[in-house]
């Protein structure tokens, strides 16, 4: 399912194309052990947009080498750097790297970058098997032991526990609150 030449590349937005400057480049971001310096966007046929977020989008992509399908998260480096969100992006990458083989967490195969974009090559989860797979870890908090507390305001706003909203110290038990909120929404809408 190749893109015809007259069609635009789904990895670019109209706004991106119209706002690009000829000499604008963003510095490289250290991708650590997931980085693949040989990978490039032309290794894939980008088929369609399957998700959008504040830093970019997720595309269904077919790798030309072997015909396998992946979800490729494409992030705009300029937006990430301007909002000083490198730590959150790298925290998400770290979580994805730790859980490559878990059946309920999406796995990161590798990442790469161009002058303008970061690419995370992830498992494509097509659905239909009847179980949930977690895919987005952009607001996760790393390094909290079961006995530790924190007061950081992080997580999906709709599911935050009262302690987090009140900016009180909390531990990992707030995750059970969040799970309960998600389950309630799944059961009752």
Are 24 and 112 part of one and the same domain? Answer: yes
The reply to whether 8 falls in a domain is: no
Are 110 and 72 part of one and the same domain? Answer: yes
pLDDT, tens digit, for every residue of 41-64? 999 999 999 989 878 899 999 999
pLDDT, tens digit, for every residue of 103-132? 788 888 898 989 899 999 999 988 777 777
Closest CA to 100 of 128, 114, 120: 120
Q: 25: domain CATH number?
A: 3.30.200.20
Are 145 and 75 part of one and the same domain? Answer: no
pLDDT, tens digit, for every residue of 134-183? 777 666 666 777 778 877 777 778 888 999 888 899 888 888 998 899 89
Paired strand residues for 44: 63
Contact between 77 and 116 under an 8 Å Cβ cutoff? The reply is yes
The reply to whether 96 falls in a domain is: yes
Are 97 and 67 part of one and the same domain? Answer: yes
Are 28 and 77 part of one and the same domain? Answer: yes
The reply to whether 132 falls in a domain is: no
Q: pTM here?
A: 0.71
Judge whether residue 13 has pLDDT over 70. no
Cα angle value 80/138/47 (rounded, 5°): 80
Last residue of a domain, one of 66, 90, 123: 123
Residue numbers of the domain that contains 173 = 141-189
pLDDT, tens digit, for every residue of 67-105? 999 999 999 988 888 888 787 777 777 777 776 577 788
Are 91 and 155 part of one and the same domain? Answer: no
3-state secondary structure 4-17: CCCCCCCCCCHHHH
- Structure-model confidence comparison of residues 96 and 14, the more confident one: 96
Are 114 and 153 part of one and the same domain? Answer: no
Contact between 69 and 60 under an 8 Å Cβ cutoff? The reply is yes
Closest CA to 52 of 158, 136, 178: 136
Paired strand residues for 69: 62
The reply to whether 1 falls in a domain is: no
Are 100 and 18 part of one and the same domain? Answer: yes
Are 45 and 85 part of one and the same domain? Answer: yes
Are 77 and 152 part of one and the same domain? Answer: no
Provide the token pair at 173: 């038990």
Are 168 and 113 part of one and the same domain? Answer: no
Last residue of a domain, one of 123, 153, 180: 123
Are 33 and 99 part of one and the same domain? Answer: yes
The reply to whether 36 falls in a domain is: yes
Judge whether residue 3 has pLDDT over 60. no
User: At 48, is the secondary structure helix, strand, or coil?
Assistant: strand
78 is in an annotated binding site: no
- Reported in sequence order, the residue ranges of 91-168 that DSSP labels E, i.e. its strands, are 108-113, 117-123
Sorted by sequence, the CB contacts under 8 Å of residue 161 that are 6+ apart come out as 170, 174, 177, 178
Number of domains comprising the chain: 2
């Amino acid at each position: 399912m190749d893109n015809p030449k007259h069609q635009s590349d789904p990895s670019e937005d109209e706004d991106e194309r119209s706002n690009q400057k000829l000499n604008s480049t963003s510095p490289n971001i250290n991708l650590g052990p997931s980085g693949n310096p040989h990978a490039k966007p032309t290794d894939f046929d980008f088929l369609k947009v399957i998700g959008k977020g504040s830093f970019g989008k997720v595309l269904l992509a077919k790798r030309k080498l072997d015909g396998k399908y992946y979800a490729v998260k494409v992030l705009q480096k300029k937006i990430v750097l301007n909002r000083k969100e490198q730590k959150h992006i790298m925290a998400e990458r770290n979580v994805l790297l730790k859980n490559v083989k878990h059946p309920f967490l999406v796995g990161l195969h590798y990442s790469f970058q161009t002058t303008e974009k970061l690419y995370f090559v992830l498992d494509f989860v097509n659905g239909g098997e009847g179980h949930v797979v977690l895919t987005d870890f952009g607001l996760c908090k790393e390094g909290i032991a079961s006995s530790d507390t924190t007061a950081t305001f992080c997580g999906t706003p709709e599911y935050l526990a009262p302690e987090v909203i009140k900016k009180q110290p909390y531990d990992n038990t707030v995750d059970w609150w969040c799970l309960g909120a998600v389950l309630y929404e799944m059961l009752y809408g």
